[in-house]
Amino acid sequence: MEMNFKIMFLFPLTLMISCKRWDPNQQFSEEIFQKQRVKIAEQVNFQSRNFVEAQLGQSLSDIIMMYGIDYKILASLTNDDSNWLRIEYVNNNGLSSLPMRIELLFKNNRLIEIHKN
């Protein structure tokens, strides 16, 4: 019986001593700090990538692999025997080796024209 009494007395005491009090402000600050660290790590990773210049004849999937999916479709046309697509990449953050603006023209999924600004 004494053993049960000791356990009943020591368990809540141990639990109260080992637990920290939850501070929502501290948790919020830590989450913001963690997000900032992740963002900085992503920027460093993005800067370390070496972008290869687009070459005429490359496919759309090759360009997406090189420059990413952050493009805007400017025009699209489908005829009986050909598909035309004009896309635009805009480098808003200045982190990559891309020019500030690049337009690419594809015919049947192959790059046929490059305009850099």
Asked if residues 78 and 61 have their Cβ atoms less than 8 Å apart, the reply is no
User: Band of the pLDDT at 27, cuts 50, 70, 90?
Assistant: confident
What's the whole-model pTM score? Answer: 0.52
Span 35-74, pLDDT tens digits: 898 888 776 665 555 556 788 999 998 888 888 788 899 9
Cα–Cα distance, 92 to 102 (Å, whole number) = 12
Tell me the β-bridge partners of 78.
83
Span 1-15, pLDDT tens digits: 577 777 777 777 776
Cα–Cα distance, 49 to 62 (Å, whole number) = 16
- pLDDT attached to residue 1: 59
CA 101 to chain centroid, in Å, comes to 20
- pLDDT attached to residue 116: 82
Residue-range domain boundaries for the chain = 47-116
Q: Report CA torsion sign: 117, 68, 94, 50.
A: negative
The closest of 77, 74, 79 to 101, measured between CA atoms, is 74
Tell me the β-bridge partners of 85.
76, 106
Cα–Cα distance, 88 to 37 (Å, whole number) = 30
CA 54 to chain centroid, in Å, comes to 22
Span 81-103, pLDDT tens digits: 899 999 998 876 655 555 578 89
Overall CATH class of domain 47-116: alpha beta
